[in-house]
Amino acid sequence: FNFREFKFAQAMIFAINEINRNPEMLPNVKLGYKIYGNCGTMDILRAALALMSGLKEEFSDENCTKPETVQAILGHSGSRPTIAFARVVGRFQTPVISHFATCACLSNRKEYPTFFRTIPSDYYQSRALAKLVRHFGWTWVGALAVDNEYGFNGIAAFIQTAQEYGVCVEYSEAFSSSDPPETLQRITQIIKLSTSKVIVAFMSHREIKLLSAALYKQNVTGLQWIGSDAWITDHSLTDSEGHSILVGSLGFTVTRAEIPGLGEYLRQLHPSQFPESQFVRDFWEDVFDCSLNQTTNPQKQPCSGFESLQNVESKFTDVSELRFTNNVYKSVYAVAHALDNLIKCDEGKRAYPNMSCADVRHIQPWQVLHYLDTVNFTTGEGERVYFDENGDSPARYELVNLQITNRGNMEGKTVGIYDASLPDSHQFIMNSIPVVWGNGLAEVPVSVCSEKCLPGTHKVLQKGKPVCCYDCIPCPAGEITNLTSILCLKCPPEFWSNKRRDACIPKAVEFLAYNEILGTLLALFSLLGVFLTLITTLVFYCHRETPLVRANNSELSFLLLFSLTLCFLCSLTFIGRPSEWSCMLRHTAFGITFALCISCVLGKTIVVLMAFKATLPGSNVMKWFGPTQQRLSVLAFSLVQVLICILWLTITPPFPLMNMVLFKDTIILQCDFGTAIGYCAVLGYIGFLAVLCFIIAFLARKLPDNFNEAKFITFSMLIFCAVWVTFIPAYVSSPGKFTVAVEIFAILASSYGLLFCIFLPKCFIILFRPEQNTKKHIMGK
């Protein structure tokens, strides 16, 4: 005997009696009913057609006129039978109001134009279940459905919404209680072999009982069940085999309510109230295990007549969990309010503004249908009842958790709520009641295909598997992931990823600094060059009156030593953090000092050549290249370089640059030339002077003096040219700060070459061979 359906029927009768006693509703009108209790889709369809056929009955009260057809049909509890008869009944414009048919397909107004329901559509339940799964971080689930429209539509809506939330479904299977045992065995095997620990079951209490019993026999545990409202609060689960597997299940069901007076009404039920009702007789005999008619049921003891439900504790008399029963109650009141508005015909409550009032004695179903569309009332418990454009009720659910009570029964404890009318972020709220998880786990179970990637790694999908199955691969250098990002994100240009690839850190800034070994060594060699140049200058100054110093324009020698000092010092401007001023200074100082230096050497070379020409008979060459002309030649050669540098600094001066291209993880601070033409012009002019000086010195190398300075100038220029020719490929191929080191090395090497080749032999004679520092010896040849 189905206690739940019988309770639904009695709740309907209770509501009708309550309405008939209410003088404010339906004055002078009494509601009646006819209940069909046939099972099976075809029998239910026949019952609906019988209601449509207009069965006539005789009434003793001549003042009461009964319509030939019903104004509304309440039911059915199942989606499948409702789908079958609602489409047919809809053609007769008769409203159908269900309290339990949740299939989303019934919201199709084209297919079911007269269907209403006081229970939310499975569309909302499916979305609520998907949000529940996402809330607990379950991204890898199994899906099971009953093999009918209810199951297929519900699970399809769940899968679609779950995929939107990033949840993957490992398997999706369907079966019904009427399938052969092989189907159940196949599904049981799929569950055993699966890796997901969460199963969403969109089915009725019949299928979940069969499945839990089969899994219990095979000792399959450790599963977290997510159930639909069709079974999650069904009281009969406690009596089923293997119900312990379902302890900890979570699912949404309609909100719980109280119906004042219903409990007392149910306890007062007696067969004498319904002497012709077979339903009541079957119920009474089942509850008290006795027989009301010995001829039809002789094997049971006859009922004494003193049986009463007042002291009986059963599912029928229990009104502590009125969920779907309350939907029946609201369905009756929805029809009553529609009839009340139709009969009273108030201006503000008509279905259409210009609609005429109906004949109370000949109310048609289509008139009730129009008024049902506009029904809007509030129950005694404060719940608002209305239907949207699809005939659906507002989607409000309670999240229940199946727990074992002190009495050993399995009951649903409300642990959260879901209200689809609220904003998305406030629709799902958990309360403070602790949740019992599947298999008695103390913590939220984990059901993922792949563990969440740690910061510093990113997802790479596994071939042929859903998006929830992936491998965690470290991010490439220069990219990171953190707790909020999924894909690897490139660091800003000034930053680089750390070793763990979970944070961007400032790039190392590299330049040739004084506090590193290479910078220190180059600075020391530069200062050493300055020191040796000053020593040489001191030696020359102390012996300035000697023939060797005076032999080749001592003024040019001192000017050359001064320019060499500047050459050594200018190399120091290349060391340290580049700035706007240091970038302009280092290249212009280098260009001008070297132009001055080579100009002095060129002047000395010309003096040597001219001095030899002056010794020839009848030659007065030295008159045209005396000390004044020598000074002017040095000044003129140097001024050309100064003009080049001024033009360079005016048009596109050098500037500090952060080079982020050369090294990915390092910023090279360097001086950009501004324009390569300026730098090439400076170097090219120095090279021109050096080549010119080399050619003249080479021509004068075999002059017949004991001390021929042209030889040493030739060697110095040879070294100078060799250094700067090799400098170009070395400079281009050197990375980062080493380009600066190469340039400094070239400056120091060429400066040392000039210092040693030109002045070292003279210093040696002055200091260690003073006997050779005589005019006679120098002019010996």
pLDDT at 161 over 70: yes
Encode pLDDT of 653-700 as tens digits: 898 888 888 888 888 888 888 888 988 898 899 888 888 888 877 776
Structure tokens at 598: 């080579």
pLDDT at 451 over 50: yes
pLDDT at 608 over 70: no
Structure tokens at 606: 């010309």
3-119+263-269+309-382, which class in CATH? alpha beta
Lowest mean pLDDT among 65-79, 498-512, 657-671: 65-79
Which pLDDT score, from 0 to 100, does residue 12 have? 96
Maximum separation of any 2 CA atoms in the chain, in Å: 169
The sign of the dihedral angle between the CA atoms of 336, 338, 344, 347 is positive
Right CATH for 122-255+396-430 from 2.60.40.10, 3.40.50.2300, 3.40.50.11890, 3.40.50.720: 3.40.50.2300
Domain range annotation of the chain: 3-119+263-269+309-382, 122-255+396-430, 472-506, 517-615+623-704
pLDDT at 540 over 70: yes
Which pLDDT score, from 0 to 100, does residue 79 have? 87
- CA-to-CA distance for 561 and 541, rounded, in angstroms? 11
Please name the residues in contact with 128: beta carbons below 8 A apart, sequence gap of 6 or more: 252, 395, 397, 418, 420, 427, 428
Mean pLDDT computed over 462-482: 89
Structure tokens at 604: 């000395």
**In CATH terms, are 122-255+396-430 and 517-615+623-704 the same topology?**
no
Please provide the distance, in angstroms rounded to a whole number, between the alpha carbons at the two ends of the chain: 143
Q: Helix, strand, coil shares of the chain as percentages rounded to 5?
A: 50, 15, 40
Q: Confidence class of residue 339 from pLDDT cuts 50, 70 and 90?
A: very high
Percent of the chain surpassing pLDDT 70 = 91
pLDDT at 781 over 50: no
pLDDT at 314 over 80: yes
- CA-to-CA distance for 640 and 688, rounded, in angstroms? 12
Q: Residues 517-615+623-704: name the CATH superfamily.
A: Rhodopsin 7-helix transmembrane proteins (1.20.1070.10)
CA 481 to chain centre: 10
* 194: enclosing H helix or E strand: none
Residue recorded with tokens 């580049």: 578
Which pLDDT score, from 0 to 100, does residue 705 have? 53
CB 26 within 8 A of CB 19: yes
Mean pLDDT computed over 723-750: 85
The sign of the dihedral angle between the CA atoms of 570, 681, 683, 670 is positive
Supply angle C-alpha 41, 44, 46, rounded to 5.
Answer: 110
pLDDT at 55 over 80: no
Most confident segment among 274-288, 294-308, 759-773: 274-288
Encode pLDDT of 392-436 as tens digits: 998 999 999 998 888 778 888 999 999 988 888 888 888 888 898
* 141: enclosing H helix or E strand: strand 140-146
Q: Confidence class of residue 58 from pLDDT cuts 50, 70 and 90?
A: very low
pTM for the full predicted model? 0.64
